[in-house]
Amino acid sequence: MSIAKIVIFGSGSFGTALASLVAANAREVVILTRRMDVANGINRSHRNPMHLSAFTLPTNVRATTEAKEAVRDAYAIVHAIPTQHSEGFLLTVREHIEVKTLMICCAKGLDERTLELAHETFARVLGIGHPCAFFGGPTFARELIQGTPSGGVMAARDMTTAERAAACFRGPTMRVYPSTDVVGVEIGGALKNVIAILCGGLEGMGLGVNAQTLLVTRGCREIMRFGVAMGAREHTMWGLSGVGDLMLTCLGNASRNKAVGIAFGKGQNIKDILDARAQTLEGVAEGVATAPAAERLAAKLGIEAPMIATCAACLRGELDASEALQRCMALPIKPDEPLINEKDRRASRATPSIAALCLATLIMNLVVTVVVSKKMRALGK
């Protein structure tokens, strides 16, 4: 496959790794960055001086700070801007994006202000005419740029768009599965970051695999509860963009969200942790903003998400790591039953059982028999 031009929004670690990945499928890859020093470094030495600087980028990758020039004649745009900054960034560039251009969003999280997933933000800011796809899966930036065998899921409203977008990422070391379950892919990618903060907290406290496995498994259940309530397919969240991404973020050493949790579990003040990270190039831990947003979304959806609420309380400074653990371990234990969304629940309530149908039929037959019998007696008289 030879695509003329693919544009990357964002020059952080993930955007840089994605530029290297898609370079195998395009004649030209352009990274749009706000930093002139980053653009100069990439154009002069084929290295990003700020992120993943040890890796040489393919020669068909260049960078610019000019949005209009970057997106001109682009076949696809890969959006690698953190969720909390996505709307603001898109507002500055949307006038230059053609309606036919394929948008591929790789941001993971819930907008803390609107509680929107990325597909909702994209539709509101760009309009519904743009073909958009949403990528999720266990993909650390460093391993992507190293060429480690990896995989993910590309979701869009229609399979044709999902296939087009997946083709931009596929290669000898990358498997991408198309899907039409946009919500399922996005909710898994958003909420796994919250569970990873809690998992890091356990590790920081010195607790072992039993505790972490318990947390990750029940965290997966909470994520699925969100997804099913929002109309997602449960099997999507059992796949690469759900359980796969959750495992990577909770168990991998390169997880930024887990790093926040580890420091918290060791007793550091949460404000000090976040302030220190803001002064470095360690990157955005999306779960920090997503946790309180998810807590509010759970209330809006009418679902229980006690572990996500516990994480939000920790981030507000209301609980320390030990108190958070005690709260989670004291949660009521309920039967382990299949999830069902509210739509199906209403349908099941509205649909009579077989026994009820049989009883209704019997009653109707009795009524008909009585009526007919009365009429026959009347005619006989």
Query: Catalytic residue numbers?
Result: 192
Check if the beta carbon of residue 139 is closer than 8 Å to that of residue 254.
no
CA 158 to chain centre: 18
Query: What does the alpha-carbon distance between residue 216 and residue 234 come to, in Å, rounded to a whole number?
Result: 17
Q: Which two tokens stand for residue 15?
A: 């955007």
Query: What does the alpha-carbon distance between residue 78 and residue 107 come to, in Å, rounded to a whole number?
Result: 10
Alpha helices in 205-350 (DSSP H): 209-229, 234-237, 245-251, 256-265, 270-278, 287-301, 306-315, 321-329, 342-350
Q: Which two tokens stand for residue 140?
A: 């650390």
CA 176 to chain centre: 15
Sheet holding 102-105, edge to edge: 61-64, 26-32, 3-9, 76-79, 102-105, 132-136, 150-156, 174-179
Query: What is the 3-state composition of the chain as percent helix, strand, coil, each rounded to the nearest 5?
Result: 55, 10, 30
**What is the DSSP code (8-state) at residue 213?**
H
Q: Which residues are 185's β-sheet partners?
A: none
Query: What does the alpha-carbon distance between residue 187 and residue 117 come to, in Å, rounded to a whole number?
Result: 7
Which is it for the CA torsion 326, 330, 336, 341, positive or negative?
A: negative
